[in-house]
Structure 1
Amino acid sequence: MNEIILVPKPLDTDAELDRLARRYKAAGGLGIQVLNTLGTRADGLLGRLPGPVRDQLDGATRAALVQALGAASKSRGVVPDQAEWLNATVSAAMGAAGGFGGLPTALAELPVTTTLLLRVIEGVAVEHGFDPAMDSVRFDCVQVFAAAGPLEHDDGADIAFLSARMALSGAAMQALVARVAPRLAVVMGQKLAAQTVPVLGAVAGAATNYAYTSYYTDMAHVHFGLRRLAVEADQPHEVMVERLRSEVLALK
């Protein structure tokens, strides 16, 4: 009796890059749609925040991110990773609660939302075969936040968040947090401002949290999908980043 030998299916790098590019391209659209539905222009959101809040936002976001790094990892031993739709639903409920009481409750919700987003990103890393307990993967999870947010749209001109990497150390992680926090502060500032919309604060909080959770889920899939593809295709990661950039720019 002849032995049947199963030959692994060849990796279609081009098809996978096209899939990741399309996911990257589509990720920003939902946030804009949400804000248009609420009748709020993205460009003017941050102007809704009081001056003192805007001034303190970077520091508050950095503190929330540092807190989230510990809380997200510790929660993995207690709460398993959830389906993407459930993550977005839970995030929306948190945003509604935060927006119900206006700016004070929205500010209190900030570190909780940041922790949830980081935990969602860690879950995507696991899905692609990476261990979030490893320092290098935790570094990548924070790096995903450098993709700004769903209100940004750059047609692939800024995919730097995929390629940045430092020598791994505690100081490097602190440097990464310091670099990422200002970009994340803009995202969270837009969210907080949306939650101050009179009457619609809870609705805006739910909608923006849903949009941001969906967006960072997509960005995490792009980030870790590309890292996995580089390993499987035995190609330098930087080369794959540039190929992805070309794919994104080629999409209409």
Structure 2
Amino acid sequence: MQDIVIVAPVDVEAELDSLAQRYRAAGGIGIQVLNAVGGKAESLLDKLPQQVRGGLTEATERALSLAMRAAQGSRRALPKQTERGNMVWTTAMGAAGGLGGLSTALVELPVTTTVLLRAIQDVAASYGFDPASENVQFDCIRVFSAAGPLAVDDGADLGFVSLRLTLTGNAMQKMIAAVAPRLAAAMGQKLAVQSVPILGAMAGASVNYVYTRYYQQIAHVHFGLRKLAIDADIPHGELVSRLSDRMALAAR
């Protein structure tokens, strides 16, 4: 006689409340930390050299392409990495990148992008998704289309979780090209903060800590919604709408 397994019903409202809390928490502490180390990136962004600002989207797209291959390769060498471990890695790299100002920050950018993507993949795996599958790889890149931690965002814009593209041909490259401009804006803010000579390594470490924490939280929202849609058998679009309503109410 087979044992009967009773599966507890999913508390959809509680799960949505938890995801809304993660979304709200994603950016709040980041602004506090960056303000603590000095200045706002928005005002510093205009001070970046025109050549850097003009080539930021292309550089970010290139970094994303390299990061996807490198992050996936790192999973074979190191299958499991904690969220805290990823934050330690990026914080250390940010400190190193900030030591030399803009020049070393530009070198550090693709490496940090790789670790951020790896951190997003780890969150996906924690929800039972396979980071090696193509659709999950798309989702991992899609997380980067969320506004960066310094963006003014009241939580009502959840377009990053409902982004849809008609993917034909080189599908992954098309996805990366679509996401790169949004991520480039966030990375431009990151470079701006790291370029302040007086702040140096402290700024680089703080910025990377903020960005890693932010994208990990956003990944929880994204993959949490995906899993909830499966477990509760509710259309994903409906869950996005309900979460968006929660965020809009909280912002009033």
Q: Which TM-score bucket, shorter chain as reference?
A: over 0.9
Cα distance in 1, alignment partners of residues 5 and 230 from structure 2: 22
List alignment gaps of at least 5 residues for structure 2.
Answer: none
Post-superposition shift, 1:26? 1.2
Pairing 1:1-252 to 2, within 5 Å after superposition = 7-251=6-250
User: In structure 2, do the counterparts of structure 1 residues 220 and 170 end up closer, same or farther at CA, with 3 Å as the change threshold?
Assistant: farther
**TM-score normalised by structure 2 residue count:** 0.95
One-letter amino acid of the counterpart of residue 64, structure 2: L
Post-superposition shift, 1:169? 4.4
Report if the CA contact (8 A) 2:156-2:245 is conserved: no
Report if the CA contact (8 A) 2:90-2:208 is conserved: yes
Report if the CA contact (8 A) 1:96-1:206 is conserved: yes
Cα distance in 1, alignment partners of residues 17 and 11 from structure 2: 10
Post-superposition shift, 1:6? 5.2
User: In structure 2, do the counterparts of structure 1 residues 119 and 169 end up closer, same or farther at CA, with 3 Å as the change threshold?
Assistant: farther
Post-superposition shift, 1:35? 1.7
One-letter amino acid of the counterpart of residue 29, structure 2: L
Report if the CA contact (8 A) 1:48-1:196 is conserved: no
Report if the CA contact (8 A) 1:194-1:201 is conserved: no
Cα distance in 2, alignment partners of residues 96 and 111 from structure 1: 15
CA deviation string 1:139-194 (max 9, x = no partner):
00000000021112322231011011334545332222112111111111111111
User: In structure 2, do the counterparts of structure 1 residues 14 and 25 end up closer, same or farther at CA, with 3 Å as the change threshold?
Assistant: same
CA deviation string 1:62-101 (max 9, x = no partner):
1000100111111110013211112111110000001101
User: In structure 2, do the counterparts of structure 1 residues 8 and 204 end up closer, same or farther at CA, with 3 Å as the change threshold?
Assistant: same
Report if the CA contact (8 A) 2:225-2:239 is conserved: yes
Q: What is the count of residue pairs matched by the alignment?
A: 250
